[in-house]
Structure 1
Amino acid sequence: MLTELHVWMLMVRAMADADSGRAVRNSLVEALWQDVAQRVKKLGSEHSSVARQQVLELSEQFQASLVSYDEGLLSGDTVLASALWRRLFAMGYPDPYHLECMVRYIRKSVSTVYLHAMK
């Protein structure tokens, strides 16, 4: 789940580049799924039906996380914190300080992306 957050942040960074951002983003996502496919192969054929179902579920969760992180980025800190809470803390009870630090880190990282893209 931390990987999907990292990939999303890289995707945001890539899309800030008007020239090649879409190609970089698509390559990044393709590399992610190639890695998943390689890991599934290591499980062997006796687990293929279970692995296929889990990859499908992983794909749906990944897409949902991208939407929720995008919504959080475009909305307020509470929406972003909610997305982080659902995906990273699995609806547990994290220390609010850690959640706040993550929101600040993401906002700061993404804002520098936008600032560089505008130059």
Structure 2
Amino acid sequence: PTGIFLRRQLARTMWTDLDLRAQQILPGQSKVRRSQLEELRSEMNAFMLALDEGLVDDDTVLAAAIWRHFRHFQPTRLENLVTLVTYIRKNIQHLEQLPDENFIKNGYVYFLPLHSDTVDTKFVNQHYLDFKNKARGFVRT
């Protein structure tokens, strides 16, 4: 149950954040926003399937998913793909180690920084409060 809850919470947080940002970029253009968000949703669903496969399989499958969906088959330095694969694996392990109550209680998910294994709790807490305050005023148009 926690995995499903976490996936839904991640998706809800991401789409709320995208909607908030889209409203700032395209104020009063709800049709354009809706169309672009629908396109993003389609791409995200495809990426999630590829990412799931990569997480279950090995690093080469995960790297291929990242390359296809983030780099769109463009030439990419191997070191950059290795960094992203390492970052994703590190954060999956981090999320798996957090107690279930952490997700259920506060509904907020945070990730480890790219080049560190230590969470800046002051930053995370402030970011969470800022996001909640913005989301409270969020109105769908």
| Bin for the TM-score computed over the shorter chain | 0.5 to 0.7
**1:50-87: CA deviation from partner (whole Å, max 9, x where unpaired):** 22110100111111111111101111222111111112
Partner residue in 2 for 1:89: 71
Aligned with 1:105 (options 73, 87, 104): 87
AA at the equivalent of 1:59: R
CA distance in 1, matches of 2:89, 2:23: 37
What is the aligned partner in structure 2 of residue 75 from structure 1?
57
Identity %: 33
Larger proportion of helix? 1
Equivalent runs, 1:43-62 vs 2, <5 Å: 43-45=26-28, 47-62=29-44
Q: 1:54 to 1:112 in 2, by over 3 A?
A: closer
The whole-number CA distance in structure 1 between the counterparts of 2:89 and 2:10 is 21
The CA distance in 1 between the partners of 2:91 and 2:13, in whole Å, is 23
Residue aligning to 1:3? none
Quote the offset at 1:112 in angstroms.
5.2
How far apart, in 2, do the equivalents of 1:32 and 1:106 lie?
17
Cα distance in 2 for partners of 1:40, 1:105 equals 27
Unmatched segments (≥5 aa) in structure 2? 99-141
> 1:34 pairs with 2, 16, 39, which one?
16
2:7 and 2:63 mapped to 1: Cα distance?
A: 24
Distance 1:87 1:93 in 2: 13
Q: CA 1:75 to 1:49, structure 2 compared with 1: closer, same or farther past 3 Å?
A: same
Q: Number of aligned pairs?
A: 97
SS of 2:72's equivalent in the other structure is coil
Measured on the aligned residues, the alpha-carbon RMSD in Å equals 2.4
